[in-house]
Each structure stands twice: as structure tokens, then as C-alpha cells.
A and B are shown apart, each in its own frame.
Chain A
């Protein structure tokens, strides 16, 4: 079974802090994704990556950046956290283009 592990289940940060959300997958998947989940809005894509050191903006990249230095790890970075970034953040990976995504359990981020 594919395992996608997000390092934190819950994070509470203050406005202006730099925040790192870490995600690791153990199935050698090429593709990795970060989604944001908000009530009534479903899942919205923040950033994704096809390969090491490669990144592409999703639908809502503003205020976020990412890093993929190793194939198994994809980090989501908030350079200066703001209260409107309070949300559930979901990491996912997939084997090849258009194959189903495998999700982690999510990191619920609260920015105060």
C-alpha cells in the first residue's frame, strides 16, 4: 500500500511566522501535490511537482512556495503566515500522469 506521511497533524502558528509543512511518500511516485481544503470549497491545488527540483503553480499558489529536493519529499512553505491560510492542507502523490492520487492524512494549520 502507498503511504503518504505528513509530519504534523495539527499546527498552530502566529501571523508572520515562516511555516514548513512536510510530506513524504514511500512508493517512488514521480508526482506530488499540495492541496488546500476548506468547507464548501472542496480541494484546491496549491502547487505540484513532476520531478525533483521541479514545481508548477496550481490554482491558488499565492502566499505559498514549495521545495522538492528529493523524490520522496515535497515541502509546502508559507514565507509569512497569514490568518487566511488557516485551513486543512493535504499532500498527495501519484505514479504517472492522470493516475489516481494517494493522500496523506492532512495537516490542520491554524494561524492566529
Chain B
């Protein structure tokens, strides 16, 4: 199936810094989703994007649905220690049938 390339694989940053991660694919998607997973928990939806070019914010988080429909990015501004976790992108293909693909995740560590 279509692959999602998520980068970077991991990030070690200082509290207060901004963070940027992205997902790319050779195929187009109808929907882009960003999830966060904290240790010992399941992934929790952060932001959902349904339209090419859409830019959506959720507090300090901002995500965009790429205009080509093949990519998406997530930015976190002014990081805090509780931002620690694994962030996953997910894309839903135009094939429907719940064909959702996940990136391999970006592990974020924030040093106080």
C-alpha cells in the first residue's frame, strides 16, 4: 500500500523551542490526521485536516494539509515538557474503505 514517510524519526529539544515534523507520500490523500501517543497510552487525535491547503491550529499546535495532497506538517510552538511523546501522521486514501496509512512516528523529547 501507499507509504507515508515521516520525519524526523526523533527529536531532542530544549523547553521553549519550536518543533516541526512532516509526512510525505508519493500518493495523494483525502484526509490527513495527526495523533500523539504518550507512554503507556493509545494515540490521541490532535488535528484532522480534510481539504488541500487547509491550515488548522489547536492551541500551540498547527498543522497543514499540503496543496499537492501528498504531504502534511505539524508544528508545535514554545514546547513544554508535557509535549513529550510519539507523534504520528495518518492519511486516508481516496480509495475509501477505511484505507488509512500511518507514518512510523516522531519521538519527541523535551528537556526542561
Please list the residues of chain A having a beta carbon within 8 angstroms of any beta carbon in chain B: 4, 9, 31, 33, 40-45, 48, 50, 59, 90, 92, 94, 97-98, 100-106
How many residue pairs link A and B with beta carbons under 8 A? The number is 56
**CB of A89 to closest CB in B, whole Å:** 10
- CB-contact partner of A100 in B1, B4, B6, B33, under 8 A: B33
Pick from B6, B43, B92: contact of A90, CB under 8 Å: B43
Instruction: List, sorted by A's number, 7 A–B pairs whose CB atoms are closer than 8 Å.
Output: A31-B98, A42-B88, A90-B43, A98-B92, A100-B48, A103-B44, A106-B41
- CB of A104 within 8 A of CB of B42, answer yes
User: B9 — which chain A residues lie within 8 A by C-beta?
Assistant: 40
- Across-interface contacts of B4 in A (CB, < 8 A): 42
Inter-chain CA distance A42–B100, complex, in Å, is 12
Q: How far is the CA of A104 from the CA of B97 in the complex (A)?
A: 21
By a CB distance below 8 angstroms, the chain B residues around A48 are 98
Q: How far is the CB of A31 from chain B (nearest CB, A)?
A: 6
Q: Does the CB pair B48–A97 fall under 8 Å?
A: no
B11-19, B72-80, B101-109: which lies at the interface: B101-109
For residue A42, give the distance in angstroms from its CB to the closest CB of chain B: 4
Q: Given contacts A42-B103, A103-B43, are A98 and B88 in contact (CB under 8 A)? A: no
Q: Tell me the smallest distance from the CB of A50 to a CB of chain B, in Å.
A: 8
* Given A42-B102, A97-B98, also A90-B88 (CB < 8 A): no
